[in-house]
Structure 1
Amino acid sequence: MEVVRVQSIASLSKHANTIPSEYIRSENEQPAGSTVQGVVLEVPVIDLSDESNIEKIVRLISEASREWGIFQVVNHGIPNEAISKLQRVGREFFELPKEEKEVIAKTSESGIEGYGTTLQKEIEGKKGWVDHLFHKILPPNAINYNYWPKNPPSYREANEEYAERLRHVSDKLTKWLSLGLGLEGQELKAAMGGEDTIYLMKINYYPPCPRPDLALGVVAHTDMSALTILVPNEVQGLQVFRDDSWYDVKYIPNALIVHIGDQIEILSNGKYKAVFHRSTVNKESTRMSWPVFLEPPAEVEIGPITKLVTEESPAKFKTKKYKDYVYCKLNKLPQ
């Protein structure tokens, strides 16, 4: 049975003022009624250029992770050109003819990797206004190039360059997050899987939507990863839930947006908070984003780090294999 892609529905709906009913969210989820209008949330912005003052960087990252679960980093060391190349090749892939994209479509055997539309069990049959592409970019032994586009020809080069540069940034971030918990610098990374930590690239493609007031790109969620590092294109769409309301997040050009995910919340025994967020869509413009999820390998057991469990702060989470956590999360089962 042929899978219908959102990109195809968008081109058919272009001149209509309506969208198929399965994309219309329930009233309490519809962006028009649930977003605080006219306010753009300024999440913490942390400048990484002054590494002579590590204590300050550690403090700011720790505060942002405890109080927000999200922050943006600037002067992070990834050249603007490397980010632009990543964005360009991703956009060019989604602009290819449908038949060419379907060559790397997800299958029952491919698991999460490949080109697709559905990600998890959909409540009440409702769907997100988004297509996506997943593939692993690190470590080298986890990569399956069958799920990397062959077109555009520079796709692999752009993604490999970005992966290498991102690894340097993520190593610093996990070190500083670890120090912010009072741990040794390497402890958090080791608990996440060390050098075997999986870097999973996702490209989200949200085509123009005739009724952005009724639809969502990605429904409200926390990321099941340990850490997510994301670049968006220039089209607004990321929203964060704060003080019982949904807010648009202000983008800083060429910043990296960092989300604390479920696994770091668990490892930190709840000291760091996974951010509750969602994606909206745009009537005129295509929104895209490039999150990279840092995930423990499937068999790694994740639970609160022993040093962070005390009589005053008993373990708040069960310890379980990451693959079991993922299964429960995607199938909406209790953890």
Structure 2
Amino acid sequence: MEVERVQAIASSLPSPGAIPAEYIRPEQERPSLTTYCGPVLEVPAVDLGDVDLEGLVRKVADASREWGMFQVVNHGIPAEVIAELQRVGREFFELPAEEKEKYARPPGSRSLEGYGTQLQKDLDGKKSWVDHLFHKIWPPSSVDYRFWPANPPAYRVANKEYANHMRRVADKLFRCLSLGLGLEEDALKNAVGGEDLQYNLKINFYPPCPCPDLTLGVLPHTDLSALTVLVPNEIPGLQVLKDGKWIDVEYVPNALIIHIGDQVEILSNGEYRSVLHRTTVNKEKARMSWPVFLEPPMEWVVGPLPQLLANQEGKDHASGEPPKYKTEKFKDYMYCKLNKLPQ
């Protein structure tokens, strides 16, 4: 059965054109009615190049507890590397439909890799205004080049270069988050797979939408990853839920947006918060984003770290509590999450 892509729907709508009913959200979810418009609240920005490690750790930990999201500048990834990543991704989505379909996610595949439209099951049958390309970029043993476009020709080189830089950023983030919990600096990274940690790149493409106030690019959700490291383009659209309000995330050139994911919330026993976020769309321009989801291997078991829990012999962590989350294989957590089943 032929899959209906949002990009094709957007290009075929009569101007001004109404969007199909399955993309229209209920009033209580529409961005025009639910976006916060009060005094400015800004997602914390952190200088990842700060030589004051203690101060850096405190800023990262505070943002992860209070927001579940922060932006990092001076992260060490050259601007030209990010620009090339964006260029080749944009050019892929400018290709004819039949060229993009060569990389389509196979029907019935348990993997999320490939060109696609819908990832999560929607219990109401609603759809999101977004297409995507999803594939692993690290470690090399996990990479399946069937889903890496050969066109544009520079696509693979650009993604390999970005992956090499991304690993250093990820290591520093995990180090800061571990130290912020009073743990050894390698505790969190080791708890999500160590050197077997999976780096999954997703390119989100949100076509221009004639009725942006009626739909969403991605519905409210938390990421099932440990961390998500996201590159946006200059078109705003990412929103985060803070104190019950949907707040626009300001675009900061060359910054990376960091999301705390479910696995770090579980490992920290709730001290760090997996952030609820969503995306809006634009009437005139295509919005794009390049998140990398840092995830454990499928068979990896994740649960609250014992050294953070109460009644542990020799434990000196002041806020130790009983476990708030169950321990399970990542693949089982992922299956329940994507199929809207209770954990």
The 1-side partners of 2:85 and 2:94 are apart by: 15
The answer to whether 1:176 aligns with 2:184 is no
Summarize the alignment of residues 28-39 of structure 1 with structure 2, pairs less than 5 Å apart: 28-37=28-37
Measured on the aligned residues, the alpha-carbon RMSD in Å equals: 1.0
C-alpha deviation, 1:26, in angstroms = 1.1
Deviations 1:261-305 (A, max 9, x none): 000000000000001000000000000000000000000000000
Structure 2's unaligned 5+ residue stretches are 312-319
**Between 102-111 and 233-242, the greater mean CA deviation after superposition:** 102-111
What is the alpha-carbon distance in structure 1 between the residues aligned to residue 228 and residue 159 of structure 2?
A: 16
Q: How does 1:214-229 map to 2 (within 5 A)?
A: 214-229=214-229
Which moved further from structure 2: 237-246 or 154-163? 237-246
Query: 1:160 and 2:160 equivalent?
Result: yes
Structure 1 residue runs of 4 or more that deviate by more than 4 Å after TM superposition: none
Name the count of aligned residue pairs: 334
Secondary structure at 1:327 match in 2:
helix
The amino acid of 2:321's aligned partner reads S
Distance in 1, matches of 2:205 and 2:259, equals 19
Which residue in 2 is equivalent to 1:70?
Answer: 69
Q: 2: CA distance between counterparts of 1:112 and 1:190?
A: 24
How has the CA–CA distance of structure 1 residues 178 and 103 changed in structure 2, closer, same or farther, with 3 Å as cutoff? Answer: same
Structure 1 segment 86-235 matched on structure 2, within 5 A: 86-107=85-106, 108-109=108-109, 111-235=111-235
State the alpha-carbon separation in 1 of the partners of residues 202 and 9 from structure 2.
21
Matched with 1:58 is 57
Partner letter of residue 157 of structure 2?
E
Matches within 5 A, 1:182-331: 182-311=182-311, 312-331=320-339
In 2, Cα distance between the equivalents of 1:17 and 1:38? 31
Is the deviation greater in 27-36 or in 134-143? 27-36
Aligned equivalents of 1:162, 1:212: Cα separation in 2? 32
Partners of 2:96 and 2:25 in 1: CA distance? 29
TM-score by length of 1: 0.98
Query: Under a length normalisation based on structure 2, what TM-score does the superposition of the two structures give?
Result: 0.96
* Residues 14 and 209 in structure 1, CA contact (< 8 A), matched pair in contact too: no
Q: Percent identity?
A: 64
Q: Which whole-Å CA distance do the structure 2 matches of 1:41 and 1:202 have between them?
A: 28
Q: Within 1, Cα distance between the matches of 2:39 and 2:124?
A: 31
Q: Which runs of 5+ in 1 are unaligned?
A: none
